[in-house]
Structure 1
């Protein structure tokens, strides 16, 4: 499995930030309100120590009980207002962050739905899950804990310093004497933690990819007795994940005690200098010392947090770059066609079609054939001959390199993509069922498909009998990938799924290769009914299932070798005849 490596984002990457904030445009009112609350909070926070200083140094020495009570009431009002503003700020910042990432996640998922299958062939699913979940969740911190919080912290520092200089410039300079040391240690911490955050993000992405792939392929792991080997690989990847997290914990464990010591040293200097001022009667009172201790606690907290804020923004830039790279991928299928016929006649033409999954490694070479309306053609050939590629191109899952494909005289690119696929029914060899009810797996959530239509199609295929024996019948949950059903039952459900959409062109890709003889006979009977009046393209390893096809096309290494009916091809004694003899020999041997 290819491991992913990313570098830290740049905090001043304004292009990324500008693009990111485009998603905030629908919520500008809420965002501006958040900025206002941030400024208001920065102004309100430094007022409390000033009220305390005024109470102790002005009213206590004079024994002014009434004045002291007035200051207490003011302090209570201030705390209530501050609590309300903090609540509104915390809630609104969270709301803005979550609402924006909801929109980004929707946009990203919408983009994923439009990408070519070629993109998914080369991209680990776990990595895409990380993009859509973890990376986008990191972006919420940019809005809720990053920019807004960083601006708030910086504003608090400015207002706190303003109050401190206003109260006593000498004490301010003494108390800030340790500030350069804190700034230096914060910078070192920021740089170190930035690297570990990158390691953590890489480890999370690699872990997600590994777990997803190997849980999905657990049957292969167990079939080949590879549990121990895969377990060892997992432990290695998990160890990297652990190391990355422990390293970040180590830096936090070092930095915060150091910051506490520096803060304690600053408070000690304030107490020392303030005590000397009180003893020398220089105008420094106990209230001033207490207020400066409170200010230092307020002042050092944002500085300690700024390192985290910057790293949150940097990781947000990293996640943004990953997400925008995915959004900017031009591997989506171009859907510029506007032709949306109500029905297909079903006349299909491949004209000199060349196709490669990888550049210049052609799997189809100059393929040309014509399927007339209502005809049934069969594609046969050895594994890797290009049979499945033909049907993938017909539904535009992949784009051809050269040549043209036409349906009813119109180039595939002229068709609206959804209209095109709606009229082509595909039954694949590898049946995929979602962890949902049988009904949902048949309709895929399409409200236009009635229960009557589902039951009619199920009866036609022969699936109705086994479905109605299940607990809950059509509401029975088949679990992930249809794990609670047999291979044959899953195949029958996929067949019902194709039939309820009433397509004009039917494509069967090894549709009966994974079922027993009894189920195959049932499906063959349904296929005959389904194909009546429709164009059908059938891929089959079992040549006995396609003997009645109007035309059989024999493919070998991406090229058409023979075309004709079953009997014509047998009489030729070529590729098809050899395939038939080999298969007949296997059957008689068994």
Structure 2
């Protein structure tokens, strides 16, 4: 289980995520500018609607005055001309005041001013009654016909149409810029994640082999794929909704303050309520998300291990046991996902509902109180419409923000895991090149251990001269492979030094050191591609002729001749469609194609049948010329011609010499050789 990470780590994680975003700040700034334009044009809609309602629709109830001047804004009714009060120019004379009031679905013309507005009703006999509190006023009135009503609205049609076209234009602009900000934000997020994945994968190449000894491959894969995909959700969905929601809410509050500062101030409680919820939710959901991410990583590790070991699982009939182990992980993941789901279900939409209802209660209380008061407290229908519209718009970004909280916490946990990988100490891959080795290798009192206080090599010293073949033999765990691991600098010695042509290997970058070295392992690894691509490993300097020659030198041509496409035959993962001998021959050809000065064969012939081994032995007699070759072999018959044979026992060289010299010693080597030849060995009592 990974350690609990505190708020300080979370802050560092956020800063590092922002540092990735800064690399693509140009696109992000374009997205934010387009978002601001989209929000501004979108939020202008209710203000336009307010003006349409208050000026061009409800404005008919404003005072009208008799006028003698005819014009586009005057209305003829009866024998007189009338103009609305807000259509008079400065200094223009006004006649008697008249009013037009709506009662239910009809409109009435009142040929005088009114004392005040209130509850309206038709009293009959051509009269209208307006009641306010305990006071009632009656006014003479005549109901307007449809044509007469239209004549009073006709001067407003041009302005109303202009506002409608403006509203439609703003909607189109908003849609265009909303698309643009969405595209640029998503594009930036994809670029960020591409860069992050490249960095993580590059970090894998920088890490020492020792790191992978302690971390299953499935967990590494999980960090590169699953965890980075969760981080992508942070940039694509979380930041998008947070940015959009924040700008929307800021714009809406500005508009609310423009409409009515007192009600806008009341609605400000929404901001601390949302911020407090984000904080509380983050602390609660963090531990669930961390367990979920670790469990997903464990599942990936187990799946990878099961696939790699499927032959053993089936051979030993452990399918049920494997299913039970998987079910334990899967059940744990299910339980914690349900806990997180329950947390989201109980709090997400409920929180927004509570805030929405509270705001609506404040709206009703405020407008209801204003309606009961006389004077300027009463607001217009347009203001009421705009407030309701803005409040409804206010809660959608809140819902979007709250719904993204699970993704945000999951992404932060994933980011912590990814950065824990990238923070591991490693070495930059070097492109520095050096001249080809002569192949003079010296081990000088080298000591090494994989685990503390468990030495594997105890003062190893020997010399391999250019062009020599050095064989390492000994029981399992004697240190043979460790010597070659140190030579290749998969690991570094704790004491002593290793030199090649007199130069300490610790003074060279690992990639530079391996430039003129080749290795063939006991279990050869082939990549997905073709036989040719597995020999060249995509190196453009290795021509097709070089590939064919390398395969011919190791004797692979007869064994590969039956393949339909020859060296262009497809190779699937690990080369599972090829025989062990074919895979090993391709691995030999790979090493030879790079023309190494130092060739390492780590039990390279142990998985090959006797006939194939004979082919390889003949080829090796040719390709070893001019190269210093190190061979680990269990079959001692394959190293009889080695220039130097080192016999190891528990991390020490107990015998050294060529085959004939070691046979004369009648020590461990002679005993092992006679056993492999089937000769009787006298027991020592």
TM-score in same-fold range (> 0.5): yes
Counterparts of 2:286 and 2:609 in 1: how far apart (Å)? 58
Q: Which deviates the most, 94-103 or 417-426?
A: 417-426
Contact 1:353-1:366 within 8 A present in 2 as well: yes
- Does the Cα contact within 8 Å between 2:516 and 2:596 map onto a contact in 1? yes
Gaps of 5+ in 2: 61-152
Q: CA deviation at 1:131?
A: 1.9
2:389 corresponds to which residue?
Answer: 294
CA 1:459–1:505: 2 relative to 1, 3 Å: same
Q: Look up the match of 1:346.
A: 439
In 2, the alpha carbon distance for the partners of 1:326 and 1:381 equals 37
1:518 aligns with 2:515: no
Q: What SS class does the counterpart of residue 571 from structure 2 fall into? A: coil
- 1:85 paired to 2:180: no
Distance 1:532 1:146 in 2: 63
Aligned residue for 1:344, secondary structure, equals coil
1:91 and 1:9 mapped to 2: Cα distance?
Answer: 35
Contact 2:348 2:402 (8 Å CA) reproduced: no
Farther-moved stretch of structure 1 (139-148 vs 159-168): 139-148
Q: 1:360 to 1:184 in 2, by over 3 A?
A: closer
| Distance in 2 separating the partners of 1:8 and 1:362 | 35
- Matching of residue 306 in structure 1 with residue 303 in structure 2: no
In the TM superposition, what is the alpha-carbon distance from 1:179 to its structure 2 partner? 7.9
Q: Is the 8 A contact 1:438 1:478 kept in 2?
A: yes
2:53 to 36, 52, 56: 56
TM-superposed deviation, 1:240? 1.6
The count of corresponding residues between Structure 1 and Structure 2 is 583
Cα 1:17–1:273 change in 2 (3 A) is: closer
- 1:568 partnered with 2:661: yes
Deviations 1:77-96 (A, max 9, x none): 11111111111111111111
Alpha-carbon distance in structure 2 between the residues aligned to 1:353 and 1:152: 62
CA contact (8 A) 1:453 1:500 kept: yes
Bigger share in helix? 1
Comparing 540-549 with 156-165, which one deviates more in the overlay?
A: 156-165
Residue 298 of structure 2 corresponds to 206
Contact 2:241 2:400 in 1 (8 A): no
User: Could you tell me how far apart the structure 1 residues matched to 2:291 and 2:9 are?
Assistant: 21
Asked whether 1:37 is paired with 2:34, we answer: yes
Q: Which has the larger radius of gyration?
A: 2
Between the aligned partners of 2:500 and 2:544, the Cα distance in structure 1 is 31
Cα separation, partners in 2 of 1:6 and 1:37, compared to 1, 3 Å = farther
Match of 1:243 among 329, 332, 335: 335
Q: Given the alignment of the two structures, is residue 324 of structure 1 paired with residue 416 of structure 2, yes or no?
A: no
Q: Where in structure 2 are the equivalents of 1:142-291 lying within 5 Å?
A: 142-147=234-239, 149-169=241-261, 171-172=263-264, 188-259=280-351, 261-262=353-354, 263-264=356-357, 266-267=359-360, 270=363, 274=367, 283-291=378-386
- The alignment status of 1:27 with 2:121, answered yes or no, reads no
Native 8 Å contact 1:433 1:441 kept in 2: yes
Closer, same or farther: CA 344–587 of 1 in aligned 2, 3 Å: farther
Mapped pair 1:46 → 2:138: no
> Structure 1 or 2: larger strand share?
2
> 1:279 offset after TM fit, Å?
8.8
What secondary structure sits across from 2:24 in the alignment? helix
Whether contact under 8 Å (2:448, 2:456) holds in the other structure is: yes
Greater shift after overlay, 69-78 or 348-357? 69-78
Alpha-carbon deviation of 1:484? 0.6
- Maintained 8 Å contact 2:581/2:609: yes
Which residue number corresponds to residue 462 of structure 2?
369
Structure-1-length-normalised TM-score: 0.91
Measure how far apart 1:344 and its partner are. 1.5
| Equivalent position SS for 2:292 | helix
CA separation in 2, counterparts of 1:587 and 1:153?
86
Identify the range of structure 1 (193-202 vs 94-103) with the bigger mean alpha-carbon deviation.
193-202
- 2: distance between equivalents of 1:486 and 1:337? 35
For residues 2-40 of structure 1, give each alpha carbon's deviation from its aligned partner in whole angstroms, at most 9, with x where no partner exists.
xx4354674995444333333344433223223323433
Distance 1:279 1:286, change over 3 A: farther
The residue aligned with 1:422 is 515
Is 2:445 the partner of 1:448?
no
CA separation in 1, counterparts of 2:550 and 2:645?
A: 28
Q: Which stretch shows the higher mean deviation, 262-271 or 393-402?
A: 262-271
Q: Is the 8 A contact 2:352 2:399 kept in 1?
A: no
| Distance of 1:36 and 1:489 partners within structure 2 | 61
Q: Which residue of 2 aligns with 1:380?
A: 473
**Alpha carbons 1:547, 1:566 under 8 Å: kept:** yes
Q: Relative to structure 1, is the Cα distance of residues 559 and 334 closer, same or farther in structure 2, using a 3 angstrom cutoff?
A: farther
Q: Distance in 1 between matches of 2:672 and 2:539?
A: 42
Change (3 A) 1:118 1:475: same
What is the alpha-carbon distance in structure 1 between the residues aligned to residue 388 and residue 292 of structure 2?
A: 37
| Residue 111 in structure 1 maps to residue 108 in structure 2 | no
Name 1:499's counterpart in structure 2. Answer: 592
Tell me the SS of whatever aligns to 1:521.
Answer: helix
Structure 1 residue 137 corresponds to structure 2 residue 226: no
Per-residue CA deviation, residues 347-385 of structure 1 (Å, 9 max, x unaligned), is 111110011112232111100011111111110000111
Cα distance per residue 1:414-473 (max 9 Å; x no partner): 334334212111110011111221111111111111111111111222212333322322
Normalised to the residue count of structure 2, the TM-score between the two structures is 0.79
Q: 1:360 to 1:80 in 2, by over 3 A?
A: same
C-alpha contact (below 8 Å) 2:48/2:163 kept by paired residues: yes
State the shift of 1:538 in Å: 0.8
Deviations 1:329-353 (A, max 9, x none): 12x2477896711x22111111100
In structure 2, what is the Cα distance between the partners aligned to 1:25 and 1:183? 25
Q: Which protein, 1 or 2, shows the higher relative CO under an 8 Å CA cutoff with sep ≥ 6?
A: 1
The gaps in structure 1 that reach 5 residues or longer are none
> Which has the higher mean CA deviation after the structures are superposed, 300-309 or 512-521?
300-309
Distance 1:187 1:508 in 2: 59
Kept in 1: contact 2:42–2:171 (CA 8 A): no
Q: Structure 1 347/424 Cα, relative in aligned 2: closer, same or farther at 3 Å?
A: same
Aligned to 2:671, which of 571, 578, 582? 578
Q: 1:180 to 1:34 in 2, by over 3 A?
A: closer
Task: Check whether the contact 1:385–1:555 (CA below 8 A) recurs between aligned residues.
Answer: yes
Distance in 2 between the 1:201 and 1:338 partners? 39
Per the TM alignment, residue 413 of structure 1 is displaced from its structure 2 partner at its CA by 2.5
Check the 8 A contact 1:379/1:552 in 2, yes or no: yes
Match of 2:636 among 540, 543, 547: 543
Residue 537 of structure 1 aligns to a residue whose secondary structure is strand
